[in-house]
């Protein structure tokens, strides 16, 4: 199970509306590479395959493939704004370590 915080959910809906994407879901996946080994990837998509699981959180459909889910189980996606910038932040209990910018992790 992965989930969005209320703030992240609001941000997703705000972007979705601004882009005219209707009720499109969010693809959440892991890709190999990045300073710590794996990187988080997030983009709007509604195409799914039999390898995907879909969760609903804060009114947004989250599509995750089974391989990425191994690394993402229990993850909460937040949205943070600060002096250093703004963006989606992954709070991942399976991450052993995370790079300084938070976009890459080791498992």
Q: Which is nearer to another protein, 7 or 44 (CB)?
A: 44
Is the CB of residue 69 less than 8 Å from the CB of residue 50? no
Of the residues 34, 42, 48, 58, which one makes contact with another protein according to CB under 8 A: 34
Strand-pair partners of 65: 52
CB of 36 to another protein, least distance (A): 6
Contacting residues toward another protein, per CB under 8 A: 29-39, 51, 65, 67-68, 71, 97, 99-100, 103-104, 106
């Amino acid at each position: 199970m992965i989930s969005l915080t209320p703030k992240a959910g609001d941000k997703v809906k705000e972007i979705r509306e601004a882009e005219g994407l209707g009720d499109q879901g969010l693809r959440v996946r892991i890709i190999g590479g990045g300073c710590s080994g794996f990187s988080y990837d997030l983009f709007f998509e509604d195409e799914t395959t039999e390898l995907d699981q879909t969760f609903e959180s804060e009114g947004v459909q989250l599509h995750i493939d089974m391989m990425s889910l191994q690394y993402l189980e229990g993850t909460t996606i937040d949205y943070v704004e600060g002096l250093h910038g703004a963006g989606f932040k992954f709070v991942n209990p399976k991450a052993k370590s995370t790079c300084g910018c938070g976009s890459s992790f080791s498992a």
